[in-house]
Structure 1
Amino acid sequence: MLDINPILLLATFVVFLSLIAVLNSWLYNPLFSFMNKRDEDIKKDLQKVGNNDDEINALYLEAESIVNNAKLEASALREKVIEDAKELADSKLDAKHAELASEYLEFEQSLAESKEQLVSDLMSQVPLFKDAVKAKFSQI
């Protein structure tokens, strides 16, 4: 039935071993070396990314501090501008108050002069009024 041929078995074993040796040198070793090199490259890239994360965090903190400083400066500048505007408004208000006070005094003086002139005019007209009143009473 089935006979085992030792020469054929030995030849098959030799071909198998030579095939393994050839595949090992031509296929498996280059493939393993490529995979090891790729793993090393991945590790290096991960380390670089880790370093980049540190740099990014440092730059982010620096940017945040710059923004905070700018906000503080803007706040101080805004406060200064508001204070200057208040002082300017107060000075304008004081000047207007002084101007209005002087105008009011002038008005009071002119009113007093008008009153005196009116009183003097009326006093000068009193004799005429007396005569007119006497004439009216005499007609009654």
Structure 2
Amino acid sequence: MLDLNPSLMVIVLIVFFSLLFLLNHVLYNPLLNFMDCRSATIADDLEKAKELSGNSDELYSKAKSVTDLAKTEAMAIRQKAIDDAKALANSKFEAKTTELDSKYQNFMKELSASQEELRVTLTSQLPLLKESLKTKLSNL
């Protein structure tokens, strides 16, 4: 049936070991080296990503603090501008009020003088008016 041939077995064993040696040097070792290098590269990239993430968090917090400071400064400038505008409006209002008050006082003085002048004029012409009224009544 089956005969065992020792020389054939030795040749198969030599071919097997030589193929194992050749594949080990040509295929397995370069493949293992590539996988080790790739693992090291991935680990380095992860470490760099963590550093960059830390840097981005730090930069984000700095940017947030700068924007918050700018917002508070802008609010202060805005409030100062509003206060200045209110003060200017109040001063203009007060100036106009005093001007109108003085004009009103002058008008009242002129009105009083005119009233006095009219009274004096009417008093001086009262006898003439009485005379003219008497003549008109007598004509009726």
| TM-score, normalised via structure 2 length | 0.94
For these two proteins, the number of residue pairs brought into alignment is 140
Structure 1 position 119 matched with structure 2 position 116? no
What is the deviation of 1:25?
Answer: 1.1
Match of 2:50 in 1: 50
Structure 1 position 80 matched with structure 2 position 80? yes
Match of 1:100 in 2: 100
Structure 1 position 36 matched with structure 2 position 36? yes
What is the deviation of 1:34?
Answer: 1.2
What is the deviation of 1:56?
Answer: 0.5
Deviations 1:110-136 (A, max 9, x none): 111111121122112211111112112
What is the deviation of 1:27?
Answer: 1.1
The residue type equivalent to 1:74 in the other structure is A
Q: Which moved more, 1:34-43 or 1:127-136?
A: 127-136
Counterpart-to-counterpart distance in 2, 1:117 and 1:44: 107
Q: Give structure 1 stretches of 5+ with no counterpart.
A: none
Structure 1 position 129 matched with structure 2 position 122? no
The residue type equivalent to 2:11 in the other structure is A
Match of 1:61 in 2: 61
Deviations 1:90-120 (A, max 9, x none): 1000000000001101110111111112112
The residue type equivalent to 1:39 in the other structure is S
RMSD: 1.2
Deviations 1:62-116 (A, max 9, x none): 0000000001111111111111111111100000000000110111011111111
